[in-house]
Structure 1
Amino acid sequence: MKAGREARRAASRAGNSPALTTIARIGFAASGLVHLLMGYLSIRIATHQGGESDQSGAFAQMVKLPGGMIILWVTVAGLTALALWLLLQASLGIGSSSKKRWARSLVSLGKAIAYVAVAATALSLALRHPTDSATSSQQASGTILSLPGGQALLIAVGLITAGIGSYLVVKGARRKFHEDIEVPTGHAKTAIEVLGIAGYVAKGIAIVTLGVLFIVAAIKTNPKDASGLDGALKALVALPFGEVILLVIASGLMAYGLYSFARAKLARL
């Protein structure tokens, strides 16, 4: 019990470090740029111009910007710091008897893992060893399917992924993102709410689609059906009015990017 309290105090002190919180804010801004580029690439796919609309494609586009490699390395640092800050927040639930605190810790841990994965993708490109997310997803799915009970495990991964996407949709629709930021007043509040709602709902739908693809891959026992976020967005194009749906999601991803820029300043850290 005492060790848990000491761990929480240490995590709280580290999490309040001005240097760490400053770099973490840069991480939110970097995430914003990534989502803007993902939205742009999704528009290209919706209009049949090709490309990859996931983080890998976004980072490839980032390198093409003026000073792109510098921006990419700053992105790696910012996302890594943001993941570290989230890990420290997750550790605040250690030794606690509060179910609410444990739930928040699990959410922070999940976010930290996601940011670590995105940072690793950016780092691989910065080191000139780019990775393809579709291939990575297929390899991971193939590995899971090869395990005992692998089909059930992959279905579970799909359900968890779809659950995360549903959570983001609900978070946007119910404006739960207010808990993450210092909400401004006046017209700024309206703008933040519009961007937050559109951004979270669009991102959630994309992730739900990814979860469905994992489940389809498990049912068909074909890892190629689990083709990552890029594959999920491209799968939407095959639906009736798919181009329109993807254009709406692309706009939402760009809205999330703009919201992330605002969050870089307004986040409760």
Structure 2
Amino acid sequence: MQSNTGLHLKNSADRHARKAADHPALTWAARIGFVVTGLLHIMIGWIALKVATGSGGGEASNSGAMAQIASTPGGQVLLWVMTVGLVGLGLWHLCGLFVSEETKDKAKNVILGIVYLSLSISTFKFASGGSSSDGQKATSVTAKVMQMPGGVILLTIAGLIIIGVGAYNVYAGVTKRFEEKLRAGSTGGKVGSAIILSGMAGYIARGLAFAVLGIMVIWAGFSTDPQKASGLDSALRTIGQQPFGAVLLIVVALGFVLYGVFSIARAKYTSEA
């Protein structure tokens, strides 16, 4: 009896989650969220490009992009819209926990849901007139972990996970793993080749940046210097400091811009989590 009741509750939760994921309001909020992430990537790529060419800069991170948006006319209003979109995208992914069939897809949706909801909090702070720095937050968290028993081991594990995320992004870009999701939401299963190429370049660029960030987190642990793990901006600047780094950073920056274009185009194909 208890088993049947539990199964009934699970089936009921799945049905409600599917309805929520397919609800026009949540779908449109998720589409706005994809556009928002696209805009942030384009901004990060633009900042990184300026750093690579020595024509200015800023913090090449989500918070750096938000700061620049906040400083423009109408920026505060846009940040409120961005907050709503990111909350919608986060909830849309969490609904995917009940919609997805495979365990890996469920886990991916949970992680992405948490990531976008966390990002919406940062956007909310900027929209409310506040500010934050991804680099400072990363340094602070790293310093706290270092003070814990086994802190170096924890940072090494975290670094390896980030490297793994980077490797998966490169793999997804090279093998076009994202294409199936796009075709599922397209009319007639057709997706433009320009969108596919943008996605490939974008995923590979993101993967490289994450891999460098993961290495820096591990390096920070062994060198007991939390400044070495100061976020995406630090990872991109580290790429720029290598031999031929300026050229490589320009390529990565353009990859981020292309990922932004891909993410904006991805909004068109949003139909299911």
Q: TM-score, normalised by structure 1?
A: 0.92
1:116 matched to 2:122? The reply is no
Please give the alpha-carbon distance, in whole angstroms, between the structure 2 residues aligned to 1:54 and 1:185: 37
Please give the alpha-carbon distance, in whole angstroms, between the structure 2 residues aligned to 1:61 and 1:116: 21
Give the equivalent residue in structure 1 for 2:211: 208
Give the equivalent residue in structure 2 for 1:6: 12
Q: Which amino acid aligns with 1:215?
A: I
- Encode CA deviations 1:72-117: one digit per residue, 9 max, x unaligned: 1111110111001111112446xxxxxx622111111111122122
Q: Which amino acid aligns with 2:51?
A: I
Whether the aligned pair in 2 keeps the contact of 1:11 and 1:91 (CA below 8 Å) is: yes
Q: Which amino acid aligns with 1:74?
A: V
- Encode CA deviations 1:111-167: one digit per residue, 9 max, x unaligned: 112212221221111122211111100111111111221111111111111111111
1:172 matched to 2:179? The reply is no
1:242 to 220, 241, 245: 245
Give the equivalent residue in structure 2 for 1:97: none
Whether the aligned pair in 2 keeps the contact of 1:195 and 1:259 (CA below 8 Å) is: yes
1:196 matched to 2:202? The reply is no
Q: Which amino acid aligns with 1:115?
A: Y
* Deviation of the 1:71 alpha carbon: 1.1
Distance verdict in 2 for CA 1:6–1:151, change over 3 Å: same
Please give the alpha-carbon distance, in whole angstroms, between the structure 1 residues aligned to 2:141 and 2:167: 23
1:52 to 46, 55, 59: 59
Distance verdict in 2 for CA 1:250–1:137, change over 3 Å: same
* Deviation of the 1:14 alpha carbon: 1.2
Structure 2 residue runs of 5 or longer lacking an equivalent are: 1-5
* Deviation of the 1:267 alpha carbon: 2.6
1:156 matched to 2:163? The reply is no
Whether the aligned pair in 2 keeps the contact of 1:7 and 1:92 (CA below 8 Å) is: no
1:39 matched to 2:33? The reply is no
* Deviation of the 1:66 alpha carbon: 3.8
Give the equivalent residue in structure 2 for 1:77: 84
Q: TM-score, normalised by structure 2?
A: 0.91
Please give the alpha-carbon distance, in whole angstroms, between the structure 1 residues aligned to 2:187 and 2:40: 24
SS in 2 for 1:24: helix
SS in 1 for 2:91: helix
Whether the aligned pair in 1 keeps the contact of 2:22 and 2:271 (CA below 8 Å) is: no
Please give the alpha-carbon distance, in whole angstroms, between the structure 2 residues aligned to 1:7 and 1:215: 41
Q: Which moved more, 1:46-55 or 1:232-241?
A: 46-55
SS in 1 for 2:196: helix
* Deviation of the 1:223 alpha carbon: 1.1
Q: Which moved more, 1:100-109 or 1:192-201?
A: 100-109
Q: Which amino acid aligns with 1:11?
A: A
Give the equivalent residue in structure 1 for 2:36: 30
Please give the alpha-carbon distance, in whole angstroms, between the structure 1 residues aligned to 2:43 and 2:188: 29
Give the equivalent residue in structure 1 for 2:3: none
Distance verdict in 2 for CA 1:221–1:75, change over 3 Å: same
- Encode CA deviations 1:146-191: one digit per residue, 9 max, x unaligned: 1221111111111111111111111111011112213578996211
SS in 2 for 1:181: helix
* Deviation of the 1:238 alpha carbon: 1.1
Please give the alpha-carbon distance, in whole angstroms, between the structure 1 residues aligned to 2:231 and 2:127: 21
2:68 to 61, 67, 87: 61
Whether the aligned pair in 2 keeps the contact of 1:36 and 1:253 (CA below 8 Å) is: yes
Give the alignment of 1:121-132 within 5 angstroms. Answer: 121-132=122-133
Structure 1 residue runs of 5 or longer lacking an equivalent are: 94-99
SS in 1 for 2:87: helix
Give the equivalent residue in structure 2 for 1:15: 21
Give the equivalent residue in structure 2 for 1:261: 264
C-alpha RMSD of the superposition? 1.8
* Deviation of the 1:53 alpha carbon: 0.7
Distance verdict in 2 for CA 1:109–1:186, change over 3 Å: closer
Whether the aligned pair in 2 keeps the contact of 1:181 and 1:268 (CA below 8 Å) is: no
